[in-house]
């Protein structure tokens, strides 16, 4: 299918999105709808509290069930009676829409695809990358320190995980700016297509990534190396189709750095908002892993996900029918007062922080969680060691998304 045809399909989706946006405008008293407004994108947490006051499980005026409750979110994410795709929804047609690989698959396809990628992202395998991550982090700050001020996102938070995931996948000569743009475009599409311009940007990013991975797969077929793509090439046609492999590689790339970029950005932003916590980290660098968990709890990169009932099921004494969707507001669940004491306080010494749902749960638990945790801990430790007097040097710019929460710009000076 041509790119032009795909853009037309996305434009049709845009029409539906605009209709939903109009409906959202009519439902301003609905807290869920208010998340799409600017105030909700800047700070969704007060809106989450209004939703929490309506009960653990409520129905939005647009039909979906919504929960801010940690226990219910966890139950929905882990229960096999829920899936990420409706049983009545046809699988993606090649070229017609953005295929998110295992992220958008129910078992058994999800099980098969995830099993192929798991070995490269195991805690043991990722642990071997610590020295590489530390070297990249220090190298980036060597360059940043030469300037009076720099952008923490484009000069540190983005290039660090991009360098690591591209090496892990076996992508040579990766351009940080290009890959940052791909990540931002694909991540923004999780909220829906906003405009024809957005649709075209998504198609161009998809086209470039398809070309990069198609060429790399061909190369690794004749010249295998010690990387994820070479491993996947070994099972091509036997356990994986060429179409599935390209889409899996794209997902592993984008997911492999998008979470970490926003983890580092959100975490640094919170540290600068809470100088007492920044001082704790400066005095004790061993708090960096605990800091990672608290950032993931307090201001997670992924704010929401959704599951669909695969069959009738009772949830919190409500009867759901087949194809009922449940929106799990992870950012709200991570501040559930029944689980976290004083949940709106940012505390990098919090013992219960690791109970967060920032990496989802169940069979779709984030495959790259060990890598994100390692990169985040190294990044925060390195910042505290090298730039103890770090402070803001201008206005921050937030990403325009309600699903992915992060910064596109964080000017700082040391």
Residue in 261, 258, 273 with CA at minimum distance from that of residue 379? 261
For residue range 205-216, list pLDDT tens digits in order: 888 888 999 999
Query: What is the Cβ-side half-sphere exposure of residue 85, based on CA atoms within 13 angstroms?
Result: 18
pTM for the full predicted model: 0.89
d(CA 135, CA 164): 11
Chain centroid to Cα 303, Å, comes to: 8
230: which residues sit within 8 A by CB, 6+ positions away? 170, 220, 224
Name the band, by pLDDT with cuts 50, 70 and 90, for residue 97: low
The DSSP string of 12-66 is HHHHHHHHHHHHHHHTTTSHHHHTTSHHHHH--HHHHHHHHHT-SSEE-TTS-EE
Residue in 76, 79, 23, 72 with CA at minimum distance from that of residue 51? 72
Cis amide prior to 108 (ω within 30 degrees):
yes
Q: Is 150 a residue whose pLDDT tops 90?
A: yes
Triad 399, 394, 389: Cα angle to 5°: 110
> Which pLDDT does position 90 carry in this prediction?
74
Residue in 326, 292, 393, 395 with CA at minimum distance from that of residue 86? 326
Residues forming beta bridges with residue 404, ordered by sequence position:
302
Question: Mean per-residue pLDDT for 69-96?
Answer: 86
Dihedral pair phi/psi, residue 295, rounded to 5°? -65, -45
For residue range 180-214, list pLDDT tens digits in order: 888 878 877 776 776 788 788 888 888 888 899 99
Residue extents of the structural domains in the chain: 3-91+102-413
Residue labelled with tokens 């990766």: 174
Question: Mean per-residue pLDDT for 21-34?
Answer: 56
Where does 3-91+102-413 sit in CATH, by number?
Answer: 1.10.630.10
For residue range 41-76, list pLDDT tens digits in order: 889 999 999 999 999 999 988 899 999 999 999 999
Q: Which residue has the higher pLDDT, 281 or 101?
A: 281
Average pLDDT of the residues of the chain: 88
Residue 93 DSSP code: P
């Amino acid at each position: 299918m041509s790119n032009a045809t795909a853009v037309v399909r996305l434009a049709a989706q845009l029409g539906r999105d605009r209709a939903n946006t109009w409906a959202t405008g009519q439902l301003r008293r609905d807290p869920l709808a208010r998340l799409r407004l600017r105030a909700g994108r800047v700070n969704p947490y007060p809106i989450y509290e209004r939703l929490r006051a309506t009960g653990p499980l409520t129905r939005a005026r647009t039909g979906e069930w919504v929960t801010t409750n940690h226990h219910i979110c966890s139950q929905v994410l882990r229960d096999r009676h829920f899936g990420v795709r409706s049983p009545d929804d046809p699988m993606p047609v090649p070229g017609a829409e953005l295929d998110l690989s295992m992220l958008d698959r129910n078992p058994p396809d999800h099980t098969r695809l995830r099993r192929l990628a798991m070995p490269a992202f195991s805690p043991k395998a990722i642990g071997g990358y610590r020295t590489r991550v530390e070297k990249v982090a220090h190298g980036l700050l060597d360059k940043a320190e030469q300037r009076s001020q720099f952008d923490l996102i484009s000069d540190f938070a983005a290039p660090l995980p991009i360098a690591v995931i591209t090496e892990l996948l076996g992508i040579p000569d990766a351009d940080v700016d290009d890959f940052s743009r791909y990540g931002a475009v694909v991540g923004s599409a999780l909220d829906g297509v906003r405009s024809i311009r957005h649709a075209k940007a998504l198609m161009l990013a998809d086209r470039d990534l398809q070309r990069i991975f198609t060429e790399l797969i061909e190369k690794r077929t004749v010249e295998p190396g010690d990387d994820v793509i070479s491993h996947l090439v070994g099972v091509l046609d036997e356990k994986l189709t060429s179409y599935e492999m390209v889409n899996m590689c794209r997902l592993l790339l984008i997911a492999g750095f998008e979470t970490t970029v926003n983890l580092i950005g959100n975490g640094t932003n919170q540290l600068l908002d809470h100088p007492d916590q920044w001082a704790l980290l400066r005095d004790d660098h061993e708090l960096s892993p605990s800091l990672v968990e608290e950032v993931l709890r307090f201001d997670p990169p992924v704010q929401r996900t959704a599951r669909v009932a695969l069959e009738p099921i009772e949830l919190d004494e409500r009867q759901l029918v087949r194809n009922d969707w449940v929106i799990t507001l992870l950012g709200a669940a991570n501040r559930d007062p029944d689980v976290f004491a004083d949940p709106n306080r940012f505390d990098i010494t919090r013992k219960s922080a690791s109970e967060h749902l920032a990496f989802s749960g169940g069979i779709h638990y984030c495959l790259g969680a060990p890598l994100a945790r390692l990169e985040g801990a190294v990044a925060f430790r390195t910042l505290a060691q090298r730039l103890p007097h770090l402070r803001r040097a201008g206005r921050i710019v937030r990403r325009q998304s309600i699903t992915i929460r992060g910064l596109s710009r964080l000017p700082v000076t040391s």
